[in-house]
Structure 1
Amino acid sequence: MSSNTQPLTPSALTQSSISNIDFVEYQGLARILHHSLIRYPEADFIKGLKECDVAGSWPEFNQRTENSTGRKLLQGFLQQWPNETDTAQAEKALITLKLDYGQLFFGPGEPTAVPQGSVYLCEEQLINDRTTVELMDFYRAHGVELQLDYKQPIDHIGLFFAVLDQSFGRLQTEVDNQALIRFVQVLLQQHLLPWATRCCELAVEHANSDFYRGLALLTSDFLLQLQQDFQVLAIDKRLFR
């Protein structure tokens, strides 16, 4: 690893950008992305996003194009989401959205935006490959335990946001926890950032709905913001898709 890919020391990082982060807000964003990416959408979840005006309240960060376009797409989609009183239209809309999630992230067949990191990072493009084992060892060394709805690879992009959710929750009261800051740095630099942007690019390219197209753009923008806030550069790894 070249020296310019190493994160700054935790103490320097704390003095500069960490104190400016609203970890309550970041935890909320991570939680939304976790629930959006980890499983098929449900009507109550979409309704909640609409009622809370998630698109309108999403932070603009550095006003990157990914952010403005993502918020616009998500807001337009949620505004047009049918009221639950229109049962037939609501059911049709949900089925269409579920189909979009399936073709992007789940199947049947090979997803167009595979959400597992090992598929991007390993030449054989297999699930649960070498990089998944490395992530598992990293989590074990730091006492991270994931609550899974069903058995699945731990390098699913939605599960990364669950871990970030937990970490940001702790950093709200442990802003000087250097070990936790370093954990987030390494998680981003070595395990998530090298491939996640490519996953988002594929989701933007192949999404059939503005919901997932907008979310993919906002996910990509949030990752860029985290990279800036935690002052890390993603390790340069060859991607195989």
Structure 2
Amino acid sequence: MSSNTQPLTQSALTQSSISNIDFVEYQGLARILHHCLIRYPEADFIDGLKECDVAGSWPEFSQRQQNSTGRKLLGDFLQQWSSDIDAADSEKALITLKLDYGQLFFGPGEPTAVPQGSVYLCEEQLINDRTTVELMDYYRAHGVELQLDYKQPIDHIGLFFAVLDQTFGRLQSEIDNQALIRFIQVLLQQHLLPWALRCCELANEHAKTDFYRGIALLTTDFLLQLQQDFQVLALDKRLFR
């Protein structure tokens, strides 16, 4: 753990709004964001988001601007997305979306919104740097195991939402499990919030499609909601991009 860790007190737990959280809903949101951020989009996945009316059913939370704008952008995109158009136009639309994901989060070349935390938190801006090792140690200490499609740094923003997905799933039946609540608090405070909002800001700034602009804003809003719900302040860390 970093030596500048700020301890979370028991009083913060007792005063929190944890009991008001719908963990089934939060697990669903975390799962959607995981799939949106971790890999290139596929037509079946976008079709599913449209069929489930994800934009229309997304919670408004505290009615922040990021929420309303993000829901509108995502809704407008999904409304125009259709599996009924001819194959050529459908393929073109999917390629446009894949290209946008690539330039934001994957490459070729350096992504405009690098999804790995260490690039923001370490002066050398390297992948798998010191903060990645700290996160790895934190997961190991808490028995967290990730199922990866391929070998990649574990501080990818999409993988954080996979861990939140798993933890929210447990909290559905273990609402009073203070160890799980503290696990999320520390994960947010020390490992995710110090840099993830900057990643989302860059994604919103550089996205070429309403889909990824909307996802960037909804991710920002969800992170701010989690910060509010779990009553944590992100560690004040210098960002290098």
Q: Secondary structure at the match of 2:148?
A: coil
Q: Is the 8 A contact 2:116 2:156 kept in 1?
A: yes
Displacement of 1:234 after TM fit?
0.2
State the Cα deviation string for residues 45-84 of structure 1 (Å, max 9, x = none): 0000000000000000000000000000000000001324
- How far apart, CA to CA, are the structure 2 residues paired with 1:63 and 1:7? 27
- How far apart, CA to CA, are the structure 2 residues paired with 1:223 and 1:167? 15
- How far apart, CA to CA, are the structure 1 residues paired with 2:68 and 2:7? 30
State the Cα deviation string for residues 161-185 of structure 1 (Å, max 9, x = none): 0000000000000011111111000
Q: Is the alpha carbon distance of 1:231 and 1:8 closer, same or farther for their aligned partners in structure 2, counting shifts above 3 Å?
A: farther
Which structure 2 residues correspond to residues 190-209 of structure 1 after superposition, within 5 A?
A: 190-209=190-209
Give the % identical residues: 86
State the Cα deviation string for residues 200-221 of structure 1 (Å, max 9, x = none): 0000000000000000000000
- How far apart, CA to CA, are the structure 2 residues paired with 1:22 and 1:182? 18
- How far apart, CA to CA, are the structure 1 residues paired with 2:154 and 2:16? 32
Q: Is the 8 A contact 1:82 1:89 kept in 2?
A: no
Amino acid at match of 2:77: F
**2:215 aligned residue:** 215
Q: Is the 8 A contact 2:12 2:231 kept in 1?
A: no
Q: Is the 8 A contact 1:194 1:237 kept in 2?
A: yes
Amino acid at match of 1:105: F
- How far apart, CA to CA, are the structure 2 residues paired with 1:216 and 1:30? 13
**2:61 aligned residue:** 61
- How far apart, CA to CA, are the structure 2 residues paired with 1:237 and 1:70? 27
**2:109 aligned residue:** 109
**1:177 aligned residue:** 177
Q: Is the alpha carbon distance of 1:235 and 1:12 closer, same or farther for their aligned partners in structure 2, counting shifts above 3 Å?
A: closer
Displacement of 1:16 after TM fit?
3.5
Q: Is the 8 A contact 2:118 2:131 kept in 1?
A: yes
State the TM-score, normalizing by the size of structure 2: 0.96
Q: Is the 8 A contact 1:30 1:165 kept in 2?
A: yes
- How far apart, CA to CA, are the structure 1 residues paired with 2:142 and 2:30? 20
The question of 1:33 aligning with 2:40 is answered: no
Which structure 2 residues correspond to residues 61-80 of structure 1 after superposition, within 5 A?
A: 61-80=61-80
State the Cα deviation string for residues 211-232 of structure 1 (Å, max 9, x = none): 0000000000000000000000
Displacement of 1:139 after TM fit?
0.3
Q: Is the 8 A contact 2:50 2:78 kept in 1?
A: yes
Structure 1 unaligned residues grouped into runs of 5+: none
Q: Is the 8 A contact 1:14 1:176 kept in 2?
A: no
Structure 2 unaligned residues grouped into runs of 5+: none
**1:167 aligned residue:** 167
State the Cα RMSD in Å: 1.4
- How far apart, CA to CA, are the structure 2 residues paired with 1:33 and 1:42? 14
**Deviation >4 Å, runs of 4+:** none
The question of 1:143 aligning with 2:136 is answered: no
Displacement of 1:152 after TM fit?
0.2
- How far apart, CA to CA, are the structure 2 residues paired with 1:36 and 1:14? 34
**2:46 aligned residue:** 46
